[in-house]
Amino acid sequence: MDNSNVNDNAQWGIVELMGHKVVAGKVSKSEMLGKPLLRVDVPQTSAFPEFTQFYGETAIYCITFVSEDVARLTAEQAKVNPVSVYAPDLVTKKYFDETVKEYQERLQRLRALPGPSDEEEEGIGHKISDLFDDDDEEGEQQ
């Protein structure tokens, strides 16, 4: 952690943020882009290296000042990932086509199932086959 810009009034604390996120570390006041921010220098954990994050006042739900030991223990338990990047798993065209074919076959098997008897139909209100019919009836009604 680069503590060169940390305010002399920095204290160890646990910060609860909107979205049920909890970070713990050395807490100090900072300013960026003309706005006051809360700076949290999170110590190294068994999962992640030390890092610094800044939070705006509207994101902060609660700050509890604690001893260094308690803050370090909380940081270790929370194991906050400093960077979360969403990268969807991509599939090949071949895998996609195979999956589509598999689901089309499943639909055909479902459509081939017998519908309920007339007595059951009155109580159910819909036949299974109605759920899978094409939109032919809708087109005819228009």
Q: Residue 115's pLDDT is what? A: 75
Q: Are strands 51-56 and 35-42 parallel, antiparallel or unpaired?
A: antiparallel
Look at residue 4 and tell me whether its pLDDT is greater than 50: no
Question: pLDDT class for 45, splitting at 50, 70, 90?
Answer: very high
> With contact defined as beta carbons under 8 Å apart, do 10 and 28 qualify?
yes
| Model confidence pLDDT, tens digit, residues 19-43 | 889 999 999 999 988 899 999 999 9
Question: pLDDT class for 131, splitting at 50, 70, 90?
Answer: low
Q: Residue 52's pLDDT is what? A: 95
Selection from 61, 58, 82, 78 nearest residue 70 by Cα: 78
Q: Residue 125's pLDDT is what? A: 53
Q: Residue 19's pLDDT is what? A: 80
> With contact defined as beta carbons under 8 Å apart, do 74 and 25 qualify?
no
What is the DSSP annotation of 15-62? Answer: EEETTTEEEEEEEEEEEETTEEEEEEEEPP-SSS--EEEEEEGGGEEE
Entry pTM: 0.55
